[in-house]
Structure 1
Amino acid sequence: MDVFDLQGRRIRHLFDGALGAGLHDVDWTGIDDDGRQVVSGVYFIHMATGMHVDTKRAILIK
């Protein structure tokens, strides 16, 4: 699971691994992979699980 900015750059890798069936939470606190706070704006959360791939829009407001 990764976070991308509007320019398509991956700014944060959130999770890489296997989870069992069911609901799961993954938190993103607005910090990029370099440990810096990102600015308020629109980001995309990209998830890939087995045969399913999904991208959701997220709005970060500070």
Structure 2
Amino acid sequence: QVVRIDVYNMLGQKVRTLVNKVQAAGNHSVTWDGRNDAGKTVTSGLYLYRIKAGSFVEVKKMLLLK
């Protein structure tokens, strides 16, 4: 099924799409380089990431430190 992982700032604005593709079931890892979709480095701070896979949706917080 299609897995999508997006990163949002605390204003709810989408900063980056990390994953948007079909993936097999199992454990996977994703690394965010701290850049937005335009390739610019974002500021340190609190961000949200949203994982969507089929009907499963989860939102978690993460802290970006430089």
Q: Same fold (TM over 0.5)?
A: yes
Give me the TM-score of the superposition, normalised by structure 2. 0.89
1:37 & 1:30 partners in 2: Cα distance? Answer: 6
Displacement, 1:49? Answer: 0.4
Give me the TM-score of the superposition, normalised by structure 1. 0.94
Q: Are 2:23 and 1:19 aligned?
A: yes
Identical columns (%): 35
Name the count of aligned residue pairs: 62
User: Runs in 1 of length 4+ with deviation above 2 angstroms?
Assistant: none
Show structure 2 runs of 5+ residues with no match: none
1:43 & 1:51 partners in 2: Cα distance? Answer: 23
Could you say which structure has the higher strand fraction? 2
1:21 & 1:13 partners in 2: Cα distance? Answer: 20
Q: Give the aligned CA root-mean-square deviation in angstroms.
A: 0.7
2:44 & 2:19 partners in 1: Cα distance? Answer: 22
